[in-house]
Amino acid sequence: MSCCSGSQYCQFSFPDGPPLTDNSVTSLQAKYLFLPYGTLLEQGEVVRIWLESGEAKSVVIESKIPISVTPTGFMVMSEAFIPWELVALDSGIELNELEDWYFHPLHNGNEPTVVLKFRHPVASKPSLKTIFLKWLYKIRNL
């Protein structure tokens, strides 16, 4: 990752790995992502969520929830419960902007809107015994 100050924007590239989500999230701990133009990513697929700074983290798409946008608000096309406050926070969109998406200048009625829900892999912390054994192994190989 390298930033170029002369061009007035940061350029970076991601290393090879699972596909990236279409839009960035505000935190690598994000649980939801609002995608106003849909996505080809599918439920159960391992993907990488990313920050605008270039950091990325692999997660699993727990569910892909189709949304219908109407002048009166969103209609969830499944039985899923969506906490819109968290969706707005994780997606980096103001809640009132999200609630009035039908009237937003970027709204396109011809494109399907979806919300992705992520499942973060459980990261186990190494035990004290494991840390000690790694330390002994390093000393032994000096």
Of 6-20, 50-64, 77-91, 110-124, the range with the lowest mean pLDDT is: 6-20
The Cα–Cα gap between 58 and 66 comes to 22
Contacts of 75 (CB under 8 A, 6+ apart): 67, 68, 69
98 to 25, 37, 68, 86, 101: CA distances (angstroms)? 15, 14, 13, 11, 5
Q: Convert the pLDDT of each residue in 14-64 to its tens digit.
A: 777 888 898 899 999 999 999 988 888 899 999 999 998 888 899 999 999
What integer pLDDT is reported at residue 90 of this predicted model? 94
pTM above 0.85, yes or no: no
SS percent in the chain: helix, strand, coil, step 5: 25, 30, 50
Averaged confidence pLDDT in the chain: 84
The residue-averaged pLDDT of 110-138 equals 88
